[in-house]
């Protein structure tokens, strides 16, 4: 069975500071990793994904994520946080081991303080 | 929220009633998905469909039913057998049912049982 852990329910960061939202995963086979963002009472928006290749993935709105196979992690990062980045962030994983299912973490609430 | 529409935005149901949530996409995507979101629990897969006239149960299919008669439509029925249906329901689609494809989400339907 595949799983995702987001160890922090909430992350607070000052505007202009770098931010990191943590994610670790467990799968059989090759992992495909995704980050999504959700604003209140809205659907999820895709930010970025890792399939293969370069471990540093760049996505929308200045976000990036680093795939670390040995640590089974896929942390989301941004060099300089904006107040408008405040939202709920979800990490998700699927694998090539015969499953089409995307498994989500429980989400991390990011608050950027002005 | 891309080319996926969900209706209604809010839905109230009396106990013992069946209700149907609509999901339509104009992205020409083959695969469609239904998720349930509860506070602090992330997203859980209810049903998914890889192609027209075919669908499979997800992790929490009990008390739900779906149909996929048209490529662009994937309605979800919440039956009276679902004991705790109050939740936020999200529909999603992907271009093909492959694990490396990102999913695009609709704006969601919030269902409340009175």
Structure confidence by residue, pLDDT tens digits, B9-43: 999 999 889 999 999 999 999 999 999 999 888 89
Summarised one tens digit per residue, pLDDT across range A44-72 is: 999 999 999 899 999 999 999 999 999 99
- CB contact under 8 Å between A106 and B104, yes or no, is no
Give the model's pLDDT for residue B73. 98
- CB contact under 8 Å between B43 and A9, yes or no, is no
Residue whose C-alpha is closest to residue B78's, from B24, B25, B14, B17: B17
The reply to whether A96 touches chain B by the CB within 8 Å rule is yes
As to burial, measured by CB atoms within 10 angstroms (0-12 exposed, 13-18 middle, 19+ buried), residue A10 is exposed
Phi, psi of A83, deg, nearest 5: -55, -35
Give the model's pLDDT for residue B83. 87
- Answer whether residue A25 shows pLDDT above 90: yes
Q: Do strands B109-113 and B10-13 pair parallel, antiparallel, or not at all (unpaired)? A: parallel
Residue whose C-alpha is closest to residue B69's, from B52, B55, B56: B52
Contact A90, A38 (CB under 8 A): yes
- CB contact under 8 Å between B110 and A41, yes or no, is yes
Tokens of A19: 């931010």
Q: Which residue of A has its CA nearest to B89?
A: A43
Q: How far apart are CA B50 and CA B92, in angstroms?
A: 12
């Amino acid at each position: 069975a595949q799983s995702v852990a987001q160890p922090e329910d909430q992350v607070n960061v000052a505007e202009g500071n770098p931010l990191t939202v943590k994610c670790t995963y467990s799968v059989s086979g090759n992992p495909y990793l995704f980050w999504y963002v959700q604003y209140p009472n809205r659907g999820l928006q895709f930010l970025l994904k890792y399939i293969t290749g370069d471990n540093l993935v760049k996505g929308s709105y200045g976000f990036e994520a680093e795939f670390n196979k040995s640590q089974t992690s896929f942390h989301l990062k941004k060099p300089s946080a904006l107040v408008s980045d405040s939202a709920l962030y979800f990490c998700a994983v699927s694998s090539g081991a015969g499953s089409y299912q995307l498994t989500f973490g429980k989400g991390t609430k990011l608050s950027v303080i002005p | 929220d891309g080319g996926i529409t969900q209706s209604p935005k809010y839905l109230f149901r009396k106990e013992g009633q069946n209700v149907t949530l609509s999901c339509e996409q104009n992205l020409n995507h083959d695969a469609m998905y239904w998720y349930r979101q509860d506070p602090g629990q992330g997203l859980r897969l209810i049903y998914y469909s890889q192609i027209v006239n075919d669908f499979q149960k997800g992790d929490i299919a009990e008390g739900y039913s779906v149909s996929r008669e048209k490529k662009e439509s994937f309605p979800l029925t919440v039956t009276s057998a679902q004991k705790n249906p109050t939740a936020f329901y999200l529909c999603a689609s992907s271009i093909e049912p492959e694990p490396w494809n990102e999913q695009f989400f609709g704006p969601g339907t919030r269902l409340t049982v009175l």
